A and B are shown apart, each in its own frame.
Chain A
């Protein structure tokens, strides 16, 4: 599975996983699971549109991801957040379906764009992916303090002059960038499994931010590597393994947290008394 045509896949995954792990940490912290699921659908529409127009897929991905993120941010301000996200999501999916219906390779294209394609990465595409990844991480580093403040203690952040809405839009844009780069490997529908499962698990094991982020990156890397290997061996879609491992990681995290809670209760009589009501 380390043949020459697989090398690119391994490289892309190794670039993609850390970005998903870091950005995903904030997705989980901010409770932005829904937008993180919705924005990739914009990317899907972009890739489909790009295929139709014959321009670079990555450009289509990036442009539509960013448009999607902005759309969710703007629509969400006028109406209810979750409704806006849901409708933007399906509109972009439907657009993508419409674009694809005009091309000749409807079926396989849907499949690989939405659900991932292990072998779909050419060497030429590696560089932009790496570039987008670096930009995403750099954005997180630059925004780190206001982002942490706004995510953990929004009211205090507002008092300190950090506009919650501005940070929200900025963060959604970063998610869009991270999405655009991860889509070729894992597919639109499953990017966010990488951005949710590993960080959620990491946060169950530790509450210290930097440690959690590192753990999140580690779990994300393990997830994609095992997923690629399994996909290669069984010929099953990589997305299946990413979704499954994401769920396993999350389950492990919750199990650990529950076990820790049970131990705490057992070892402290006062706490046990409080819990026994």
Chain B
């Protein structure tokens, strides 16, 4: 029994301070990402969510360059990016994707520049790895600061819950009912910038999309009730983060090289596998194919009016 225990959880796991910090911060960040990500998936904005990750990367690497904390850069440029995307966004879906892609490309170009300047200016290695793929075991930002940002983002979503949901599922009905759709959209984008900025710390800027989209998409596949989806998304995100931390810690003991695999890889892998498994669940049972098809995510795509009535009722 003890053998099995140490096989699953290598010695020293719970005693290690970096691990405890990682578990705490990772858990908080996963919840924020799941909450915001739920709406990102429902609004069909996975690309924009991913673009925020790349903008975050530019912010983080820029922050390193001028000597401020990466977290400030991650969130700061994300917020600016949200504003810019509001400015150049077009209503037609295709135009929006193009504009998103262009912003993304420019952001990555900036990241390339900043990372290059980082490495030549300070001769420190590890900048690219830290910004792009996360540094959950070596986070220097304080937990209170992270919690503050988290409360800000989750709080905003909580306050806007009903109007945001209505505006997401059926913007026309929302507008007709006096919901300030544009304002809500901006507030949501700011929450998104914060969520992505936070998860850039733990899982890396360009992988932040996994924590944002994966758990939420999984949840929406499994249940059609938004409240239930919220819970499932949070649980999935936190589980994936903690499992990833454990696996990464254990991976140091695999083989004789004493070199583990990156935490972010494990977190993303767990999220991906869980998502794939949820696909099997929806096909097999969980209320049958028709119920699965009625899952909130699909309702948006199919019959916006009916869903609006459902929510408004």
Contact = CB atoms under 8 A, between A and B. Distances in A.
Interface stretch (A87-95, A139-147, A161-169): A87-95
A89 B106 contact: no
Interface in A65-105: 78-80, 82-83, 85-87, 89-91, 93-95, 97-98, 101-102
Contacts of A242: 105, 109
Contacts, number: 177
Contact of A243 (B108, B210, B268, B301): B108
Interface string B238-277: 0000000000000000000001011011001101100100
B171 interface: no
Interface stretch (B12-20, B44-52, B74-82, B187-195): B44-52
A251 to B, nearest CB: 8
Contact of B261 (A87, A101, A187, A192): A101
B106 A82 contact: no
A239 B112 contact: yes
B196 to A, nearest CB: 12
A239 B214 contact: no
Contacts of A79: 217, 221, 275, 279
A240 B101 contact: no
A23 to B, nearest CB: 14
Interface stretch (B127-135, B136-144, B160-168): B127-135
B261 A98 contact: yes
Contact of A115 (B107, B115, B204, B213): B115
A114 B54 CA distance: 12
A197 B97 CA distance: 12
B116 A236 contact: yes
Interface residues of A, number: 50
Contact of B265 (A86, A98, A115, A246): A98
Given A78-B279, A83-B41, A247-B106, A34 B264 contact: no
A148 to B, nearest CB: 16
A106 interface: yes
Interface in A105-158: 106-107, 110-111, 114-116
Given A37-B104, A95-B265, A80 B301 contact: yes
Interface in A189-230: 189-190, 192-193, 196-197, 200
A247 B128 CA distance: 23
A106 B129 contact: yes
A89 B210 CA distance: 9
B47 A243 contact: no
Nearest to A83: B217
Contacts of B50: 34, 37, 86, 89
Q: Is the interface of A mostly helix, strand, loop or mixed?
A: helix
Nearest to B260: A101
Contact of A33 (B101, B209, B271): B101
Nearest to B88: A254
A116 B99 CA distance: 23
B125 interface: yes
B96 to A, nearest CB: 9
Contact of B262 (A85, A101, A193): A101
A231 to B, nearest CB: 10
Given A34-B47, A196-B98, A240-B112, A246 B105 contact: yes
A91 B111 CA distance: 21
A243 to B, nearest CB: 2
A10 interface: no
B268 A90 contact: yes
A102 B260 CA distance: 8
B265 A237 contact: no
Contacts of A91: 210, 268-269, 272
Given A82-B44, A101-B261, A110 B128 contact: yes
B109 to A, nearest CB: 2
How many residues of B sit at the interface, in one of the four size bands? Answer: 35 or more
Nearest to B103: A247
A241 interface: yes
B68 interface: no
A26 interface: no
A256 to B, nearest CB: 15
Interface in B181-205: 204
Contact of B111 (A36, A98, A115): A115
Contacts of B264: 94, 97
B109 A243 contact: yes
A241 B132 contact: no
B93 interface: yes
B206 interface: yes
B110 interface: yes
B207 interface: yes
Contacts of A33: 47, 97-98, 100-101
B8 to A, nearest CB: 21
Given A34-B97, A107-B129, A110-B128, A193 B109 contact: yes
Question: Ordered nearest first, which 3 A-B pairs have the shortest CB separation?
Answer: A243-B109, A193-B105, A94-B268
17 contacts: A34-B46, A83-B41, A86-B49, A86-B209, A89-B50, A90-B209, A91-B269, A95-B265, A110-B128, A115-B115, A189-B108, A189-B111, A197-B102, A239-B108, A246-B102, A246-B105, A250-B102
